[in-house]
Every structure is written in structure tokens, then in C-alpha cells.
Chain A
């Protein structure tokens, strides 16, 4: 190993314990992800969240930093999820006419999507022989993190593992929704957005807002409704499925 000059070590010891370093690193990693996304010609598979997460994990491992230390800095970004969720009311209000007219298709798609999300995840997991704990942790993977963690606790999963499943699901949804919908030739932004929100919550919603405001609005509604529907339905489904 190359000896580290004491001055640099002092600076590192100081910086690594302040929120400043990991907050800056989080923004830098995300900017790198966005830069790669733009450079790729905005390909949905080049997902900025996935890139940022991988870069940060490599950085944490390389510097021997714990997740707790990292989160002390990154929590300022994490905190904004709350106000951002409340901000969904603004596009909802601006597109309320279209939303009201689509009440029936939304309700039907919500029920079908919500049940499919839980049942198919559990069925595939069991077919691949994953442990019962893991299966229960991934059952609520399609809903927003705080609701999913609450459900996991209720059905015997591991809440912090569920949080991970939720994020991976969101990234998968954001990567696949555009190619999938283009393949199916669905031109209806309401339906495209709603599907993204039901299957992949906030990250799907973020992706939908990147593409089209109406899609984003419907994704946001789908995310909120599916959170509530799954909180009621998942415990029942899990007790039926074993």
C-alpha cells in the first residue's frame, strides 16, 4: 500500500464524519448517472438511479464507510421525498379533468395490477425456491417504501430488505416501461403512466414525469392508490398463499 500523507489522513478523518462529504457524493454520483444517461441518447436501460447506487456502493466499500455514516449525510436528500410526494398534488390539480374522466379505467387497472404485483412476485419467488423470509420481504415490492416496510413487518418479512426490493423494483420498472409500452404500441399516456406507477411506485413515477406530464400525473395517482390497496390486500393474499 502507498503510505497516505498525514495531512490527507487528517482531512479524510474530518470530512468522512461530516454530512457534507456524503451529501456531495450523492449529488455527484447522480449527476454522473444523468451524464451517462444523456450520453447514451437517453436510453431507459441506462438508469441514473442504478448508476448512482452502484457508484456509491463501490465508494463506500473502497473507503470502508458504513451505510449509517453515509446516510447521516444523504438523509438531507432522502428527506425531500416527503415534500415531493405532497407536490404531486400540483400536477394532479392541473390535470384533474383528465383524471376524473378516467376514474373507471383507473379503478379496474388498480385492482388487477395490485393483485398481479403481489401474487406473481410470490409465485415466481416460490418457484425459484427462495427462502420464506425473502419471499415475504418481496411480496409488497411494488408500493412506495414506507407502506411496503409496514406490510413486510405485518406479514413476517424483513422491512429493511423490503426497502431494497422496492428500490430494485422501481429501477426495473423505470428501465422497462418505455420499451415495453412502445412494443405494445400503447399511445395512451394515461395508461402508460398508470401502469408504471402501479408496478414501480415513485421511481416509475419519476421516469414517467421525464417522458410526459400526463403520464407522470397518472403514475403518481397509481402509486398512492396502490399503496393503500396493497396495504389492505397483501396480508390477506399472503395468508391465502401460505
Chain B
């Protein structure tokens, strides 16, 4: 388990280094994901311990957003003043984005024949 955690952290560190050295607008962890993926491709299979740690983290992913979410407390005044517009924009735009994305995905999947392999 320690080796698996080490591997995740090492990829994140490498990602941060790449992002900073190259001045990329992409966060270090996202580059770290790409590095980890490249390592797994090269290795051919996922070590059991890494699979377990990854599953543990991803199963509880929503917990990790709670501390940032509590940050709402710093902006309560502004939100109180503009909450109708903010809520309308966030709900409307989020639902619309999901509708557009799922529609385009299904359409292109059918047209390009990417559906066939699912059968």
C-alpha cells in the first residue's frame, strides 16, 4: 500500500514540476494522471495494491470536495444578494451542458460506428 501511495504522489510531484517548468495552465495532478497512465501502459497491467488504493480513493472521491465546499461561508453576503441569478445560471447551464454533451456523444457515436463494438 505504501508503494502504491508513493507511486501516486511521485506522479503528482512530477506533474507539478512539468506544469511549473513549462508554465502550462494545466494543474500538476492532471499531468500526473497522464504520467501514471503512460507508466501503466508501459507496464501492461495494474499492480494489485495500486488498484486497491485507487479504488479506495475514487470510491470516496466526494468526501474530498467537502473542505473546499465549506469555503462558501466566505462568500455568503454576495451569494445572499445575487442568489437567484447565480442559482439560475448554475442550474440552467449545468443541465443544458449535460443535455448537449450527451446528445452530441450519442449522435457522433451512432454516425461514426463507435456503437458497434458495444454489442
Q: What is A's interface to B at a CB cutoff of 8 Å?
A: 26-27, 29-30, 48-50, 52-53, 56-57, 60-61, 67, 70-71, 74-75, 77-78, 80-94, 96, 98, 101-106, 108-110, 112-113, 116-117, 120-122, 124-125, 128-131, 134-135, 138, 141-142, 144-147, 150, 160-161, 163-174, 176-177, 180-181, 184, 186, 188, 190-192, 194-196, 198-200, 202-203, 205-207, 209-210, 216, 222, 224, 227-228, 231-232
Residue from the list A172, A186, A188, A224 in contact with B33, Cβ < 8 A: A224
* B97/A82 in contact, CB under 8 A: no
Quick check: B26 and A228 within 8 Å, CB to CB?
Answer: yes
B97 near A91 with CB under 8 A, answer: no
Is the beta-carbon distance between B37 and A130 smaller than 8 angstroms?
no
**Known contacts A128-B89, A160-B71: does B57 contact A84 (CB below 8 Å)?**
yes
A191 to B107, CA, bound (A): 10
Q: How large is the interface on B (under 10, 10 to 19, 20 to 34, 35 or more residues)?
A: 35 or more
Is the Cβ of B108 less than 8 Å from the Cβ of A124? no
Closest Cβ–Cβ distance, residue A224 to chain B (whole Å): 5
A-B contacts counted at CB < 8 A amount to 327
B:1-39 near A, CB below 8 Å: 5, 8-9, 11-12, 15, 25-30, 32-37, 39
Which B residues are within 8 Å of any A CB, using their own CB?
5, 8-9, 11-12, 15, 25-30, 32-37, 39-41, 46, 50-51, 53-55, 57-59, 61-75, 78-79, 82, 84-86, 88-102, 104-109, 112, 114, 117-118
Interface centre among B41, B67, B88, B117 (most CB of A within 10 A): B67
CB neighbours of A109 from chain B (8 A): 101-102, 104-105, 108
- CB-defined contacts of A57 to chain B, threshold 8 Å: 70, 72-73
Known pairs A52-B69, A124-B93; A84 contacts B61 (CB<8 A): yes
Query: Given B86, B93, B118, which contacts A120 in the complex, CB threshold below 8 Å?
Result: B93
Q: Would you call B86 and A130 a contact (CB within 8 A)?
A: yes
- Residues from chain B with a CB closer than 8 A to the CB of A113 are 97-98, 100-101, 104
Write out the residue numbers on chain A whose beta carbons fall within 8 Å of the beta carbon of B92.
120-121, 124
Residues in A with CB closer than 8 Å to B59 are 209-210
Are A160 and B74 within 8 A (Cβ)? yes
Contact: B72 with A90, CB < 8 Å?
Answer: no
Query: When the two chains form the complex, which single residue of B30, B66, B85, B114 contacts A74, counting CB atoms closer than 8 Å?
Result: B66
Q: Establish whether residues B70 and A56, one from each chain, have CB atoms under 8 Å apart when the complex forms.
A: yes
Contacting A227 at CB < 8 Å: which of B30, B57, B67, B114?
B30
**Which residues of chain B are near A194, meaning CB under 8 Å?**
101-102, 105
Determine whether the beta carbon of A30 is less than 8 Å from that of B66: yes
B30, B68, B98 — most chain A CB neighbours (10 Å):
B98
Most chain B CB atoms below 10 A, which of A82, A87, A125: A87
The answer on a CB contact under 8 Å between B64 and A80 is yes
**Chain A residues within 8 Å of B117, by CB:** 98, 101
Residues from chain B with Cβ under 8 Å of A145 in the complex: 68
The complex places the Cα of A83 from the Cα of B14 at a distance, in Å, of 12
Complex CA distance for A167 and B107, rounded to whole angstroms: 30
Q: Chain A contacts of B25 at CB under 8 A?
A: 147, 150, 228, 231-232
User: Are B88 and A128 within 8 A (Cβ)?
Assistant: yes
CB of B72 within 8 A of CB of A167, answer yes
Q: Which residue of B lies closest to A23 (CB)?
A: B67
13 other A-B residue contacts (CB within 8 Å) besides A86-B36, A89-B33:
A77-B63, A89-B37, A96-B41, A102-B114, A108-B108, A116-B97, A121-B90, A124-B92, A138-B90, A141-B94, A161-B78, A206-B62, A228-B30
